[in-house]
A and B are shown apart, each in its own frame.
Chain A
Amino acid sequence: GAVVSQHPSRVICKSGTSVKIECRSLDFQATTMFWYRQFPKQSLMLMATSNEGSKATYEQGVEKDKFLINHASLTLSTLTVTSAHPEDSSFYICSAYTPSGNTIYFGEGSWLTVV
């Protein structure tokens, strides 16, 4: 299947700082990427849909100024958590849509810990 790489897998940052998470599609072009947040033992919560070359579409309740998403190329989307707080600590997962396969493939996920 298609490969989606997410980096970093784990990151610890200080409260008030910003942290960037990258999501890359390695062997296909992804016009659409998705960012999810997953709380322990819960399902994936869609945060935003990222389309290459345009602004991301955020789900209700997700602060667009806090979770900045950029999809500058067909293989890269980034999520920047700005002015991070301990309550932002979570597991973040990206995924990329493949039109040819009509499905999505996931990155490995990123653990963010804000101290």
Chain B
Amino acid sequence: AQTVTQSQPEMSVQEAETVTLSCTYDTSESDYYLFWYKQPPSRQMILVIRQEAYKQQNATENRFSVNFQKAAKSFSLKISDSQLGDAAMYFCAYRRANTGNQFYFGTGTSLTVIP
């Protein structure tokens, strides 16, 4: 079974600084998708960024970028120029490409942004 591990239950970052959230996953598949979702206090889950496993280039969305290391099964999220609105729970997620639509979520990392 696929598992997604987020080893940092809590992280904090100074406003305007950079922070990296870790995620590792376990799979025997070669083709899959990885995602980072953000859940602010409102509890609405928001897609932050996604990565296709077959792409070597790391995905980037404005201040958010990933470091995808396929061999190491690592998928970290880097938030640059952190803003107060970035404070939230961040969930890493995995989805197989070929069968089923089920997503597997990590346990989450709570990010605090310090003014």
Asked, given contacts A43-B91, A102-B33, A103-B33, whether A34 binds B47 with beta carbons under 8 Å apart, the answer is: no
Q: A97-B101, A104-B101, A106-B46 provided; 15 other pairs, C-beta below 8 A? A: A34-B101, A34-B102, A43-B91, A43-B106, A43-B107, A44-B105, A46-B102, A49-B100, A49-B101, A102-B50, A103-B35, A104-B103, A106-B44, A108-B43, A109-B43
Residue B114 CB within 8 A of the other chain: no
Instruction: Tell me the residues in window 22-74 of chain A with beta carbons closer than 8 Å to chain B beta carbons.
Output: 32, 34, 38, 41-44, 46, 49
Per-residue A-contact encoding for B83-114, CB less than 8 Å = 1, 0 else: 00000000100010000111101111010000
Closest partner residue, chain B, to A110 (CB atom):
B43
* Chain A residues closer than 8 Å to B108, beta-carbon distance: 42-43
A-B interface contact total, Cβ < 8 Å: 49
Asked, given contacts A34-B102, A49-B102, A103-B50, whether A109 binds B107 with beta carbons under 8 Å apart, the answer is: no
Q: How far is the CB of B21 from chain A (nearest CB, A)?
A: 14
A: residues with CB less than 8 A from B are: 1, 32, 34, 38, 41-44, 46, 49, 91, 93, 95, 97, 102-106, 108-109
Instruction: Tell me the residues in window 35-65 of chain B with beta carbons closer than 8 Å to chain A beta carbons.
Output: 35, 37, 42-47, 50, 52
